[in-house]
Amino acid sequence: MHVVAGVLVDGAGRILIAQRPPGKHLAGMWEFPGGKLEPGETPPMALERELDEELGIAVDPLSFEALVRIPWTYGDRAMLLEAILVRAWTGEAKALDAAEIRWADPRDIDPALLAPADRPILAATRLPSHYPITPPDVSVDDALALLASALARGERLLQLRLPGLPTEAVHGMVAQVLPELRALGATLLLNRDIEGARAFGEGVGVHLAASQLHQLDARPLPLSQVVAASCHNADELARAAALGCDFATLSPVQVTASHPGAEPLGWPRFARLAEAASLPVYALGGLGPDDGMEARLHAAQGVAGIRGFL
Ligand SMILES: Nc1nc2c([nH]c(=O)n2[C@H]2C[C@H](O)[C@@H](COP(=O)(O)OP(=O)(O)OP(=O)(O)O)O2)c(=O)[nH]1
Protein backbone atom coordinates (compact mmCIF):
# COMPACT_ATOMS: atom_id res chain seq x y z
CA MET A 1 0.00 0.00 0.00
CA HIS A 2 1.40 3.38 -1.02
CA VAL A 3 0.35 6.30 1.20
CA VAL A 4 1.25 9.94 0.62
CA ALA A 5 1.37 12.45 3.49
CA GLY A 6 1.69 16.23 3.19
CA VAL A 7 3.75 18.24 5.66
CA LEU A 8 2.34 21.77 5.30
CA VAL A 9 4.86 24.40 6.40
CA ASP A 10 3.65 27.95 7.12
CA GLY A 11 5.64 31.20 7.02
CA ALA A 12 6.62 30.82 10.70
CA GLY A 13 8.03 27.32 10.14
CA ARG A 14 5.10 25.63 11.88
CA ILE A 15 3.74 22.37 10.48
CA LEU A 16 0.20 21.02 10.44
CA ILE A 17 -0.75 17.79 12.19
CA ALA A 18 -4.17 16.14 12.18
CA GLN A 19 -5.78 13.73 14.60
CA ARG A 20 -7.17 10.56 13.01
CA PRO A 21 -10.93 10.29 13.54
CA PRO A 22 -12.64 7.56 15.59
CA GLY A 23 -13.34 4.29 13.81
CA LYS A 24 -10.30 4.43 11.49
CA HIS A 25 -7.02 2.51 11.73
CA LEU A 26 -4.84 4.32 14.37
CA ALA A 27 -7.84 6.37 15.57
CA GLY A 28 -6.89 9.17 17.96
CA MET A 29 -3.24 9.27 16.87
CA TRP A 30 -1.85 12.39 15.19
CA GLU A 31 -0.58 12.22 11.60
CA PHE A 32 0.13 14.26 8.50
CA PRO A 33 -2.90 14.68 6.23
CA GLY A 34 -2.96 12.46 3.15
CA GLY A 35 -4.05 8.99 2.18
CA LYS A 36 -3.71 6.05 -0.17
CA LEU A 37 -2.94 6.49 -3.85
CA GLU A 38 -5.88 5.63 -6.08
CA PRO A 39 -5.28 3.60 -9.26
CA GLY A 40 -3.48 5.69 -11.88
CA GLU A 41 -2.43 8.43 -9.44
CA THR A 42 1.12 9.64 -8.87
CA PRO A 43 2.01 10.69 -5.29
CA PRO A 44 1.67 14.45 -6.07
CA MET A 45 -1.73 13.87 -7.72
CA ALA A 46 -2.96 11.89 -4.72
CA LEU A 47 -1.68 14.54 -2.31
CA GLU A 48 -3.43 17.33 -4.22
CA ARG A 49 -6.73 15.37 -4.04
CA GLU A 50 -6.36 14.35 -0.38
CA LEU A 51 -5.52 17.87 0.84
CA ASP A 52 -8.56 19.22 -0.97
CA GLU A 53 -10.79 16.50 0.54
CA GLU A 54 -9.34 16.56 4.08
CA LEU A 55 -8.40 20.24 4.58
CA GLY A 56 -10.32 22.12 1.88
CA ILE A 57 -7.17 23.73 0.46
CA ALA A 58 -5.84 23.96 -3.10
CA VAL A 59 -2.14 23.15 -3.03
CA ASP A 60 0.48 24.26 -5.54
CA PRO A 61 2.33 21.07 -6.61
CA LEU A 62 5.24 23.27 -7.76
CA SER A 63 5.89 23.95 -4.08
CA PHE A 64 6.22 20.22 -3.28
CA GLU A 65 9.56 18.97 -2.00
CA ALA A 66 10.34 15.32 -1.26
CA LEU A 67 11.01 14.95 2.48
CA VAL A 68 11.47 11.26 3.25
CA ARG A 69 9.99 7.84 2.33
CA ILE A 70 9.27 5.48 5.22
CA PRO A 71 8.48 1.80 4.58
CA TRP A 72 6.46 0.63 7.60
CA THR A 73 4.53 -2.44 8.74
CA TYR A 74 1.63 -2.36 11.22
CA GLY A 75 0.83 -6.01 12.04
CA ASP A 76 -0.01 -7.49 8.64
CA ARG A 77 -0.45 -4.08 6.97
CA ALA A 78 2.71 -3.12 5.02
CA MET A 79 2.94 0.35 3.54
CA LEU A 80 5.24 2.87 1.99
CA LEU A 81 4.56 6.25 3.60
CA GLU A 82 5.87 9.02 1.36
CA ALA A 83 6.17 12.44 3.04
CA ILE A 84 6.16 15.59 0.92
CA LEU A 85 6.76 19.17 2.13
CA VAL A 86 4.05 21.60 0.95
CA ARG A 87 4.89 25.30 1.12
CA ALA A 88 2.16 26.98 -0.97
CA TRP A 89 -1.63 26.64 -1.06
CA THR A 90 -4.77 28.71 -1.17
CA GLY A 91 -7.60 28.58 1.36
CA GLU A 92 -7.48 28.05 5.10
CA ALA A 93 -6.97 24.49 6.31
CA LYS A 94 -10.07 23.09 8.08
CA ALA A 95 -10.58 19.73 9.84
CA LEU A 96 -12.98 18.26 7.22
CA ASP A 97 -11.91 14.68 7.90
CA ALA A 98 -9.70 14.83 11.01
CA ALA A 99 -11.00 14.93 14.60
CA GLU A 100 -8.84 18.04 15.05
CA ILE A 101 -5.98 19.87 13.32
CA ARG A 102 -3.18 21.83 14.92
CA TRP A 103 -0.27 24.02 13.80
CA ALA A 104 2.93 23.58 15.80
CA ASP A 105 6.68 24.12 15.73
CA PRO A 106 8.17 20.68 14.90
CA ARG A 107 10.32 20.90 18.07
CA ASP A 108 7.19 21.31 20.22
CA ILE A 109 5.41 18.20 18.88
CA ASP A 110 5.57 15.19 21.18
CA PRO A 111 6.55 12.25 18.92
CA ALA A 112 4.65 9.90 21.25
CA LEU A 113 1.35 11.43 20.05
CA LEU A 114 2.06 10.58 16.40
CA ALA A 115 1.27 7.39 14.51
CA PRO A 116 4.48 5.31 14.81
CA ALA A 117 5.35 5.63 11.08
CA ASP A 118 5.15 9.43 11.42
CA ARG A 119 7.85 9.67 14.09
CA PRO A 120 10.68 9.39 11.53
CA ILE A 121 8.86 11.98 9.41
CA LEU A 122 8.77 14.38 12.36
CA ALA A 123 12.49 13.68 12.90
CA ALA A 124 13.13 14.58 9.24
CA THR A 125 11.35 17.94 9.67
CA ARG A 126 13.58 18.74 12.65
CA LEU A 127 16.91 17.65 11.20
CA PRO A 128 19.17 20.04 9.26
CA SER A 129 20.98 19.29 5.99
CA HIS A 130 24.48 19.23 7.58
CA TYR A 131 25.86 17.01 10.30
CA PRO A 132 29.50 17.95 11.08
CA ILE A 133 31.72 15.59 13.09
CA THR A 134 34.85 16.71 14.97
CA PRO A 135 38.22 15.51 13.61
CA PRO A 136 39.44 12.65 15.86
CA ASP A 137 42.89 14.04 16.67
CA VAL A 138 42.35 17.62 17.88
CA SER A 139 43.08 19.08 21.32
CA VAL A 140 40.35 20.18 23.72
CA ASP A 141 40.98 23.84 22.89
CA ASP A 142 40.87 23.22 19.14
CA ALA A 143 37.70 21.15 19.43
CA LEU A 144 36.04 23.93 21.47
CA ALA A 145 37.06 26.50 18.86
CA LEU A 146 35.70 24.29 16.05
CA LEU A 147 32.37 23.87 17.84
CA ALA A 148 32.09 27.61 18.51
CA SER A 149 32.75 28.52 14.88
CA ALA A 150 30.36 25.85 13.59
CA LEU A 151 27.57 27.18 15.85
CA ALA A 152 28.35 30.74 14.73
CA ARG A 153 28.08 29.59 11.08
CA GLY A 154 24.61 28.22 11.77
CA GLU A 155 25.31 24.50 12.19
CA ARG A 156 22.73 23.05 14.60
CA LEU A 157 23.56 19.33 14.73
CA LEU A 158 27.09 18.29 15.66
CA GLN A 159 28.88 15.14 16.73
CA LEU A 160 31.66 15.21 19.31
CA ARG A 161 33.94 12.30 18.44
CA LEU A 162 37.30 12.49 20.19
CA PRO A 163 38.38 8.87 20.73
CA GLY A 164 41.88 9.96 21.88
CA LEU A 165 40.65 12.01 24.85
CA PRO A 166 39.59 10.75 28.29
CA THR A 167 35.83 10.83 28.95
CA GLU A 168 36.25 13.45 31.70
CA ALA A 169 37.91 15.85 29.25
CA VAL A 170 35.07 15.37 26.75
CA HIS A 171 32.46 15.91 29.48
CA GLY A 172 34.27 19.08 30.56
CA MET A 173 33.95 20.41 27.02
CA VAL A 174 30.27 19.55 26.85
CA ALA A 175 29.60 21.38 30.12
CA GLN A 176 31.35 24.42 28.68
CA VAL A 177 29.34 24.59 25.43
CA LEU A 178 26.01 23.43 26.84
CA PRO A 179 24.53 26.86 27.75
CA GLU A 180 25.19 28.19 24.23
CA LEU A 181 23.91 24.97 22.63
CA ARG A 182 20.66 25.18 24.55
CA ALA A 183 20.21 28.90 23.87
CA LEU A 184 20.54 28.19 20.13
CA GLY A 185 18.37 25.07 20.16
CA ALA A 186 21.34 23.09 18.78
CA THR A 187 22.06 19.40 19.45
CA LEU A 188 25.43 17.85 20.31
CA LEU A 189 25.73 14.09 19.94
CA LEU A 190 28.35 12.26 22.00
CA ASN A 191 30.00 9.40 20.17
CA ARG A 192 28.97 6.08 21.82
CA ASP A 193 28.54 7.70 25.26
CA ILE A 194 24.95 6.83 26.27
CA GLU A 195 25.49 7.44 29.99
CA GLY A 196 27.13 10.82 29.38
CA ALA A 197 24.27 11.92 27.12
CA ARG A 198 21.69 10.79 29.69
CA ALA A 199 23.45 12.75 32.46
CA PHE A 200 23.60 15.99 30.42
CA GLY A 201 19.98 15.76 29.25
CA GLU A 202 18.39 18.36 26.97
CA GLY A 203 20.52 19.46 24.01
CA VAL A 204 22.80 16.40 24.19
CA GLY A 205 22.23 13.05 22.50
CA VAL A 206 24.20 9.99 21.51
CA HIS A 207 25.62 8.72 18.23
CA LEU A 208 25.83 4.94 18.51
CA ALA A 209 28.54 2.84 16.89
CA ALA A 210 27.25 0.00 14.69
CA SER A 211 28.54 -2.51 17.26
CA GLN A 212 26.24 -0.98 19.92
CA LEU A 213 23.15 -1.53 17.75
CA HIS A 214 23.30 -5.26 18.39
CA GLN A 215 23.92 -4.90 22.13
CA LEU A 216 20.85 -2.73 22.79
CA ASP A 217 17.28 -3.97 22.89
CA ALA A 218 15.54 -0.60 23.29
CA ARG A 219 16.08 3.07 22.51
CA PRO A 220 18.74 4.10 25.04
CA LEU A 221 17.48 7.67 25.68
CA PRO A 222 14.04 9.31 26.02
CA LEU A 223 12.35 10.74 22.92
CA SER A 224 13.39 14.23 24.09
CA GLN A 225 17.07 13.41 23.39
CA VAL A 226 18.40 12.54 19.94
CA VAL A 227 19.72 9.04 19.22
CA ALA A 228 21.64 8.42 15.99
CA ALA A 229 23.61 5.45 14.67
CA SER A 230 26.51 4.69 12.32
CA CYS A 231 25.31 2.23 9.66
CA HIS A 232 27.03 0.57 6.71
CA ASN A 233 24.41 -1.83 5.33
CA ALA A 234 20.70 -2.71 5.25
CA ASP A 235 20.90 -4.87 8.37
CA GLU A 236 22.33 -2.06 10.50
CA LEU A 237 19.78 0.43 9.12
CA ALA A 238 16.95 -1.95 10.02
CA ARG A 239 18.39 -2.39 13.52
CA ALA A 240 18.69 1.40 13.98
CA ALA A 241 15.05 1.89 12.88
CA ALA A 242 13.81 -0.93 15.12
CA LEU A 243 15.52 0.69 18.13
CA GLY A 244 13.74 3.95 17.31
CA CYS A 245 16.86 5.94 16.39
CA ASP A 246 16.06 9.44 15.11
CA PHE A 247 18.45 9.07 12.18
CA ALA A 248 21.41 7.15 10.83
CA THR A 249 24.55 7.90 8.91
CA LEU A 250 25.30 5.50 6.03
CA SER A 251 28.92 5.21 4.94
CA PRO A 252 31.24 5.28 3.12
CA VAL A 253 29.56 6.81 0.08
CA GLN A 254 32.92 7.59 -1.49
CA VAL A 255 36.57 6.80 -0.83
CA THR A 256 37.55 8.59 2.36
CA ALA A 257 40.84 9.50 4.00
CA SER A 258 39.63 8.45 7.48
CA HIS A 259 38.74 4.86 6.37
CA PRO A 260 40.98 4.23 3.34
CA GLY A 261 40.38 0.44 3.19
CA ALA A 262 36.57 0.54 3.20
CA GLU A 263 34.73 -0.32 -0.03
CA PRO A 264 32.68 2.75 -1.07
CA LEU A 265 28.92 2.33 -1.63
CA GLY A 266 28.62 4.85 -4.45
CA TRP A 267 25.49 7.03 -4.86
CA PRO A 268 23.16 4.50 -6.56
CA ARG A 269 23.63 1.89 -3.81
CA PHE A 270 23.42 4.58 -1.12
CA ALA A 271 20.07 5.72 -2.55
CA ARG A 272 18.64 2.19 -2.64
CA LEU A 273 19.61 1.57 1.00
CA ALA A 274 18.40 5.01 2.19
CA GLU A 275 15.03 4.60 0.43
CA ALA A 276 14.47 1.19 1.98
CA ALA A 277 15.34 2.46 5.48
CA SER A 278 12.56 3.49 7.90
CA LEU A 279 14.42 6.53 9.24
CA PRO A 280 16.20 9.64 7.86
CA VAL A 281 19.73 8.85 6.59
CA TYR A 282 22.74 11.17 6.19
CA ALA A 283 25.33 10.44 3.51
CA LEU A 284 28.83 10.11 4.98
CA GLY A 285 32.28 9.34 3.62
CA GLY A 286 34.40 11.38 1.25
CA LEU A 287 31.77 14.13 1.02
CA GLY A 288 31.82 17.86 1.77
CA PRO A 289 29.17 20.43 2.69
CA ASP A 290 28.69 21.23 -1.00
CA ASP A 291 27.46 17.69 -1.73
CA GLY A 292 24.11 18.46 -0.06
CA MET A 293 22.15 18.70 -3.31
CA GLU A 294 23.62 15.45 -4.66
CA ALA A 295 22.73 13.79 -1.35
CA ARG A 296 19.11 15.06 -1.42
CA LEU A 297 18.77 13.70 -4.95
CA HIS A 298 19.81 10.30 -3.59
CA ALA A 299 17.23 10.06 -0.80
CA ALA A 300 19.46 11.51 1.94
CA GLN A 301 18.41 13.86 4.72
CA GLY A 302 21.74 15.65 4.15
CA VAL A 303 25.49 15.23 4.35
CA ALA A 304 27.72 14.37 7.31
CA GLY A 305 31.48 14.59 7.52
CA ILE A 306 34.69 15.77 9.15
CA ARG A 307 36.90 17.50 6.62
CA GLY A 308 35.40 20.63 5.12
CA PHE A 309 32.59 20.79 7.69
CA LEU A 310 34.36 22.20 10.74
N1 LIG B 1 -2.86 9.70 5.70
C2 LIG B 1 -1.93 9.23 6.53
N3 LIG B 1 -1.93 7.91 6.85
C4 LIG B 1 -0.98 7.49 7.68
C5 LIG B 1 -0.02 8.37 8.24
N6 LIG B 1 0.79 7.65 9.06
C7 LIG B 1 0.36 6.38 9.03
O8 LIG B 1 0.85 5.45 9.65
N9 LIG B 1 -0.72 6.27 8.19
C10 LIG B 1 -1.41 5.03 7.88
C11 LIG B 1 -2.78 4.95 8.45
C12 LIG B 1 -3.52 4.11 7.44
O13 LIG B 1 -3.29 2.76 7.74
C14 LIG B 1 -2.84 4.44 6.12
C15 LIG B 1 -3.52 5.51 5.30
O16 LIG B 1 -4.84 5.47 5.48
P17 LIG B 1 -5.90 6.65 5.33
O18 LIG B 1 -7.05 6.18 6.11
O19 LIG B 1 -5.35 7.98 5.68
O20 LIG B 1 -6.12 6.62 3.78
P21 LIG B 1 -7.36 7.16 2.99
O22 LIG B 1 -7.58 8.60 3.35
O23 LIG B 1 -7.07 6.80 1.58
O24 LIG B 1 -8.46 6.29 3.72
P25 LIG B 1 -9.82 5.61 3.59
O26 LIG B 1 -10.65 6.36 4.58
O27 LIG B 1 -10.25 5.73 2.17
O28 LIG B 1 -9.52 4.22 4.04
O29 LIG B 1 -1.55 4.93 6.48
C30 LIG B 1 -0.05 9.73 7.90
O31 LIG B 1 0.76 10.55 8.34
N32 LIG B 1 -1.02 10.12 7.04
Tens-place pLDDT, residues 67-105 = 999 999 999 899 999 999 999 999 999 999 999 999 999
Instruction: Decide if pLDDT at 261 tops 90.
Output: no
CA distances (Å), origin 259, targets 13, 31, 197, 273: 38, 40, 26, 20
Phi, psi dihedral angles at 180 (to 5 degrees): -70, -40
Q: pTM score, two decimals?
A: 0.93
Residue 199 in 3-state DSSP? helix
If one residue of 76, 81, 86 were mutated to test the ligand 1 pocket, choosing by the most ligand atoms within 8 A of its CB, it would be: 81
Q: Per-residue pLDDT tens for 218-238?
A: 999 999 999 999 999 999 999
Question: What pLDDT is recorded for position 257?
Answer: 76
pLDDT > 90 in the chain, percent:
92
Supply the residue whose CA is at minimum distance from atom 15 of ligand 1: 35
- 155 C-alpha to ligand 1 centroid (Å): 35
- 32 C-alpha to ligand 1 centroid (Å): 9
Q: Are β-strands 204-208 and 227-231 bridged in parallel, bridged antiparallel, or unpaired?
A: parallel
- 96 C-alpha to ligand 1 centroid (Å): 15
- 28 C-alpha to ligand 1 centroid (Å): 12
Q: Would the CB of 3 count as within 6 Å of ligand 1? A: yes
Instruction: Decide if pLDDT at 213 tops 80.
Output: yes
The ligand 1 atom nearest the CA atom of 117 = 8
Residue 252 in 3-state DSSP? coil
The ligand 1 atom nearest the CA atom of 72 = 8
- Distance between CA 95 and CA 19 in Å, rounded? 9
Question: Which domains, and CATH codes, for the chain?
Answer: 2-109 (3.90.79.10), 130-305 (3.20.20.70)
Q: Would the CB of 160 count as within 6 Å of ligand 1? A: no
Q: Would the CB of 18 count as within 6 Å of ligand 1? A: no
Q: Would the CB of 122 count as within 6 Å of ligand 1? A: no
Q: Per-residue pLDDT tens for 20-43?
A: 999 988 999 999 999 999 999 999
Tell me the ipTM for this assembly: 0.92
- 63 C-alpha to ligand 1 centroid (Å): 22
Supply the residue whose CA is at minimum distance from atom 3 of ligand 1: 35
By the 8 A CB rule, do 158 and 186 touch?
yes
One-letter amino acid at 169 equals A
In DSSP terms, 7 is beta-bridged to 85
Supply the residue whose CA is at minimum distance from atom 8 of ligand 1: 117
Q: Would the CB of 2 count as within 6 Å of ligand 1? A: no
